[in-house]
Chain A
Amino acid sequence: MTFKIFLAVALGILVGALGLMDQLAAHMDSLITLGLSVMLLLAGVEIGRQGKVFAQIRKYGLSLLLVPLSVALGSILGAIAAGMLFQMPVAEAAAIGAGFGWYSFSAVELAKHSAELGTLAFITNIARELMALVSIPFIAKHIGYLEAIAPGGATTMDTTLPLLAKSTDGTTAMIGFITGMLLSLAVPILVPMIMGFFAG
């Protein structure tokens, strides 16, 4: 499955770069929304079919919050560690990591500081989403279901959720959705806060 995913993304990039879909440029977001809605509806059907999902979610209770918390901490610390290799300021690296894969928001927010930082945030977070798409089935199979939530970050509530649902079980998909939602809510708070905290 990983190879097919890689192939679909690579083929898309190639077709887009060659300008073969330029006439559809204005409709790309609508097409993505349509595809996502179909995927999420079917992921929902699968979750609903497994009646025990909600009981399990209730059983975990607040300890569920440990998952988004560890993804958030890991993302930020990982970005700081990588930033050190490039002698980046800690605040800039941390803020890029706090994008959690939500490239449009983090890029726009960080472009306020510098165009280059905005572009780096965009590329980093797009790369994260692509890495998530390619690695989720592998991680689910070889490392663990819960770990498969980690690469997607904020995107586990939409773009990478269908793949998570396909590669794991209903409960993991639901925890992934909750994780993605909480991380998405945190991005607009954390990214400016990190930049402000270190700048001040």
Chain B
Amino acid sequence: MIMYLAVLVVGCLIGSKVAMNDGHHQKLASIQSIALYFLLFIMGAKVGMDKDMLRSFGRIGLQGTIIALFSVLFSILGVSVVSKTLFKFDRGEQNDL
């Protein structure tokens, strides 16, 4: 956790101190896209390599998926209620990296 926080803070410092033009921004966006798909692929592969997980998935996979789905939907609902009542959020420009 500490390492990820440190990496994020270093990134923030670089972003706030180093002036970047659109060309740099485009390059960073491409690197980020490649890193994202690589990461997703590796995370998927890790799940796929776990044979115990794959075996038990058939049996309790549906149950787990439905619990996850309800958790996600209720969380979205919770944040939605809070953001429309108690928490006034100012939406900024999409990063569109």
List residues of chain A with CB under 8 Å of any chain B CB: 4-5, 8-19, 21-22, 25, 28, 31-32, 35-52, 56, 60, 63-64, 66-67, 69-71, 73-79, 81-83, 85-86, 93, 96-97, 116, 119-120, 122-133, 135, 139-140, 143-147, 149-151, 153, 157-159, 161-163, 165-173, 177, 181, 184
Question: Are A39 and B36 in contact (CB-based, < 8 A)?
Answer: yes
B residues with CB within 8 A of A: 1, 3-5, 7-17, 20, 28, 31-32, 35-50, 52-54, 56-57, 60-61, 63-83, 86-87, 89-97
* Complex Cα gap A56–B12 (Å): 15
A sample of 7 more A-B contacts (CB under 8 A), given A21-B49, A66-B86, is A41-B11, A42-B31, A44-B8, A56-B90, A79-B71, A135-B72, A151-B72
Cβ-neighbour of A120 out of B7, B40, B43, B63 (below 8 A): B63
Q: Which of A22, A131, A133, A150 is B79 in contact with, Cβ under 8 Å?
A: A150
Selected contact of A43 from candidates B8, B13, B17, B78, CB within 8 Å: B8
Q: Which one of A25, A96, A161, A166 has the highest number of Cβ atoms from chain B below 10 Å of its Cβ?
A: A166
Other-chain contact of A158, B4, B64, B72 (Cβ < 8 Å): B4
CB-CB under 8 A from B66, the residues of chain A are 82, 85-86
Top 3 A-B residue pairs of the complex, sorted by shortest distance between their CB atoms: A44-B11, A12-B44, A16-B48
A-B contact pairs, 18 of them (CB 8 A): A5-B40, A13-B48, A15-B45, A16-B46, A42-B28, A44-B8, A50-B92, A73-B74, A123-B61, A123-B63, A127-B61, A144-B80, A146-B80, A146-B83, A157-B1, A166-B32, A166-B97, A169-B95
Residue from B4, B17, B76 within 8 A of A151 (CB atoms):
B76
- A169, B38: Cβ atoms closer than 8 Å: no
Given contacts A28-B46, A123-B60, A181-B1, contact A97 B40 (CB under 8 A): no
Q: How many whole Å from B73's CB to the nearest CB in chain A?
A: 6
Contact A40 B7 (CB under 8 A): yes
**Contact, CB under 8 Å: A150 / B75:** yes
CB–CB B67/A96 < 8 A: yes
B14 CB, min distance to chain A CBs, angstroms? 5
Q: Which of B7, B47, B72 contacts A44 (CB 8 A)?
A: B7
Tell me whether A16 and B49 are in contact (CB under 8 A).
yes
Closest to B34 in A: A38
Q: Which residue of B lies closest to A25 (CB)?
A: B49
B81 to chain A, nearest CB (A): 7
Residues in A neighbouring B93, C-beta threshold 8 A: 169
